Structure 1
Amino acid sequence: MKKFSPSKNLRKEDEIMFFLKIAWRNIWRNKRRTIITITAIAFATTITVIMRGIQLGTYDYLIRTIAGNYSGYIQIQSKGYSEDPSLRKTFIYSDEIKKIIKSTPDIIAYAPRLYADVMISSGENSYGGIIYGIDPEIEFNFSNFHKKIKHGRFLRKDSSYEVLLGDKLFENLKIKLGDEIIILSQGFDGALWDMKFKVVGVIKLGYTELDNAVIFMNLKDAQEFLSAENRVSIIAILISELEKIEKIKRKLSEELNSKSLVALSWEDVMVELKQSIEFDNASGVLFLAFLIIIVAFGILNTISMSVVERFNEFGISLAIGFKNQKLVLIVLLEILFIVLIGILLGSLLGGIFNYYLIKNPIVLTGDFASVYEEFGIEPKFISSLKPRIFINTGLSILIVSLISSVIPLYRVYKLEPLKGIRFT
C-alpha cells in the first residue's frame, strides 16, 4: 500500500509554514496547561531580569561612586608603583602626557594627585597621615570630595598652606578649625622637611582607614613641601562608559610605555572592591540558576504530559506515512513557541520594572542605610537595562528548556506506529 505524506508535494517554504501552523495550533489545544507553562517561564524570566538588573545597576553605581572618586576608572602611574607606592615612584606631569590623555577619545575628566606618608603633630599629639595633593578646581568636576565636608570649607585653587583633615584624625589631634599643625615628611630629594599648615576644613570620606589619616592639601603645596616639583603619584581618569575601560587602558599603556608608565583599571587598583562584587555576583547567579532549573522541571513535566497524551495520535500519523523526524520537529516547534512567548513576556515585564527603578531608585532606610552612609555611599538600589541582561537570561532559559525536552523528544523519535496506536 502506498504511504501518504501530507508534506510530500509541498515546497520547502510551504512545508515549514505547514509545520509552524500545526505546532501553533497544537499548543492551544490545552490552553490551560499552555498558559500555566508560559506564566511560569515569564515569571522566572521577569525575576531573573529584575535581579540581574538590580545587581549590575548597583555594581555600576558602586564603581562610579567609589572607583570614580578615588582611583578613577583608569589610573596612570609609574611601573611598579602599585606594588611599592613611594615618592621615588612619582613621575613628571608633563605637557606631553596631558596631550596623550586629551587626545584619547571617551576620556571625560582626569585628575593629577600626589600621595605621601607623613607625620602630623599638634602640641603633644602626633599621628601618622597620608597627604592627598589635589587640584581643587579639577576635583570639583572629577570627584565629590567637596560634598563630604563635615566642618569648615573645601580647598581653594589660590589657597596656600591650607589643609583638610579626615574627621577621625581631626578628633585625635584635639584641635579646632583655624589651628595650625606641623607636618613632617621625607621629600623626593631624601631630606626631611617640616612645614606649618592651617586647618580650614574637616572631611568625612566614610572609610575609617582614610578618615583616620587623610590630609588634603593643594597639589602645588604638596609638590613644594615634598620637593617634588611638577611630580605626581598618579593621574586618575574618568571615561564616558565603563565598558570601554579595557580598550582605553590598552591604548594609554601602549602610548605611555616608552615613558615607563602604565595604565591600570580600577580592578587592578581596588582589588577588594572587585572581589566583593565578584562574590556577590556569583551568589546571585547561583540563586537564579536554581530558579531556572526549577522552571526547567516544570517544562519537562508539561512537554512529557503533552507527548504521552498524543501517543495514539502520533501512532496514527506514523502509520499513514509521517516520519518520526517530522513529529519531533513539530513537538520541538511547540516547545520553542511556549518558551519564546514566556521569555518575551518576562523580558518585557522585567524591562518595565528595571526602567522604573532607574528613574526611581530604591532608597534604603534604617540599619542598611547607616551601613551605606558609613562608607560614604548614598543608600540606594538602582537597576540597569544592559542588553546582556536580557540576552543572557533568554538564552539561559531557552537552553535549559531545550535540554529538559530531550527525553520527551527522544520518546517521539523512537515511537513505533503500532505501539503508538495501542497506547492507552
Structure 2
Amino acid sequence: MGRQLSVNNKDTVNSPQGTDLTSATNNHDLITDNITTRDELWALKDISFEVKRGEVLGIIGRNGAGKSTLLKILSRITEPTSGRAVMRGRVGSLLEVGTGFHPELTGRENIFLNGAILGMRKKEIESKFDEIVAFAEVERFIDTPVKRYSSGMYVRLAFAVAAHLDPEILIVDEVLAVGDAAFQKKCLGKMSDVATREGRTVLFVSHNMAAIQQLCQKGILLSKGQLTYNGTSNDAVNQYINMSDRVVNYLEDGFMDLGQVHDKVHQAKIFKKIRILDKDDKPRETFLLLSPIKIEVELENTENYPGSDYCVAILTPAGQWVTSSATWMYPGEKKKTPRRIVLEIPAIKFAPGMYKIYLSMAQYAAGVYIDKIENAATFYVESIDLFNSGREFTSSCGLVIPDGELSLS
C-alpha cells in the first residue's frame, strides 16, 4: 500500500486488498481495502484488516516487510495506488526522525503547529503545553529551533506532542529505538495509558517483541508486503520468531556473512561477518549450560566514525535483553577504530533455549545509531543436570542461573 519511488524511476506501490481498521460502528475506526500497485515491486499487497476503538495493534515483520509504508498510508503521508484507508478520528503519528516538525521553527512553535494541524484550539494546546515539555525533558531548549536538537531530543519532543495532543488514533513507528532505555520505558507507559485509561486506538511498530506482547492485545505480521497473520499479539510474535526467511551465507572459518541479514536497519556497512566459537575455537551453534562461548565480529569502515561505541548483546527470541557488553563500559577501548570485536563469556548462565545476537555501533552523545543488526546470528543452549538432583535447569526456573546458594537452617 502506498507509493515508493525506486532508483530506476519505476513507481511502485502497494496492494490490491487494503486494510480494514475498525468497524463502521466505532467513533474512530480505520478502514483500508483494495489497495493495488501497477509495477513489479509491491511494497504492500493484498492487505485487509480492521482495528476497533481502544485496541492496541502491534505491527511486526522483518525490515522491508512494508510496516512503515503501511503507517505512512494511515498517516496520509502516502496515497495508495488503489483501495482505501478510512480513519475516523484525529490521527497523531510518530514516524521516522525528521517528519512532522518544521526545522526552522522552535520546539514551542512546532507544538502549536502540530496542534493546529490536528484541529485543536489554541487554549486546548496551551492546556497541554507544560505537560508536553515536561514529558519530553526539553525545558531549556523549548525556544530553540528544532534543527539544532539532537536526534534523541527531537524524538522525545515528537513523541510527547503525538501522545499528548489528544489524537483518537496514535501511530508510532520504530523511531523510539533512537531514545535511551529510560525514555523508551516512559513512552511504553504513556502508550499503555493512552489505550487503557483514555480509550484511544494505538498502532505500534517495533522489533522489540517483549514490548509488543506487553502493550498490544492484537498483532499483525507482514512478510514481503503481504499480511501473513492477523490475531493475538502472542501468536503473531511466535510466528515472527519462527520465520525462516533469514539468509545466512557461511564463509571460511565458520564466519557468517552479515551483508544479507534481513533485519539490518541502518545503511552504514560496519558489521561484515560473525562467528560463534566454543572453548576450542571451533564454530558451534549449540552449547551446554556453563560452557564457554566466544562471539567474534569482523568490522569495516570504522575509520569513518572515530570515537563510536560498539555493543554486543544477547537477546531472547522475543527481544528481551539477557546481557550485553559495550565499549562505554571500557573507556580505554572507545578510542580505537577496531577491525574486530570479541566477546568472551567463560560460562553460559542463562536458561536453555534459543538466543539471538544483537550488534550496534552508535554515537550515544548525539543519539545516533550508525549501524544496528537486530538478529546477527542465533545459538542454542541445552540443559544439564546442573545440581546433580536428577532434574534439569529449564526456562521455567528463570532466565539466569544465580551465583548464590540456597540453604536452610
> Structures share a fold, TM > 0.5?
no
TM bucket, shorter chain: under 0.3
Larger relative helix fraction: 1
Q: Which has the higher contact order (CA 8 A, sep 6+)?
A: 1
The structure that has the greater radius of gyration is 1
